[in-house]
Amino acid sequence: MRLATDRSRTRRGVSAAWALGRGQDASGTLGAVDIEHLEGDATRDRLGEIESVYAEAFPDYDLGDYRTRMRSLLASPGFEAVTARDNDALAGFAYGARLTGASWWEGLEPPPPAGFTTETGRRTFAVIDLAVRPPMRGRGLGRRLLDELLAGRAEERATLATAPHERETQAMYRRWGWRHVGRTPGSEGETEDWFDLYVIALRSPDASSSR
């Protein structure tokens, strides 16, 4: 897993979406939930409850690793989180940060077009984690969290990563408009040997560079 701002950046958009898919109830509907946008300091203040939902969504992942990653991520440029509350209880969250360098794309196969991996510090927003508590899955909350996270971003595009074996998750992202751009090797300490990368356009390059 790796951080969007450097070679150690976490690519947890992968497992997050997979967790959303387990135990889905296709007949479920999403009722009224309270959506809130948070910057780094506000997210840090609520990290305890975010961590609890993370542990519930990803029981196989190490919380010590998560805490280490979050300390770095919360200080990353352009960090933003979105939370959803149901009856005042945290039901899910999504967050990410800007790419400040091109290491996210390192080793991308097939080779991308010229200029694709160029990063200016304002070009690309990386979605890192997306989690929904099991009782709230299958109601569209994951999609709403992701839409809320990206709706106000000034970057040209967003990216996320998935594990190659998570075919249902990848099919879901494609239905949501994300485009598969290739596969990159995982680094030491990451959860997968390879990651499939996806991209979605947020606005025109001219519009993003002017904001």
pLDDT at 86: 93
Domains present along the chain, CATH in parentheses: 13-209 (3.40.630.30)
- The DSSP letter of residue 151 is H
- The DSSP letter of residue 130 is E
How many C-beta atoms surround the C-beta of residue 43 within 10 A?
20
pLDDT at 204: 76
Residue 92 class from Cβ within 10 Å (0-12 exposed, 13-18 middle, 19+ buried)?
buried
Buried b (16+ CB within 10 A) or exposed e, 14-24: bbbbbbbbeee
pLDDT at 23: 33
Q: E strands, the chain, where?
A: 34-38, 80-86, 89-98, 124-132, 157-162, 179-185, 194-201
Contacts (Cβ under 8 Å, ≥6 apart) of 133? 53, 56, 57, 90, 91, 92
pLDDT at 30: 60
Which ranges of the chain have pLDDT less than 70? 1-31, 189, 206-211
Task: Tell me if residue 85 falls in helix, strand or coil.
Answer: strand
pTM: 0.85
pLDDT at 158: 98
Please state, in angstroms and rounded to a whole number, the distance separating the CA atoms of residues 200 and 191: 23
pLDDT at 178: 98
Query: Could you give the count of Cα atoms lying within 13 Å of 59 in the half-sphere of its Cβ?
Result: 4
pLDDT at 210: 53
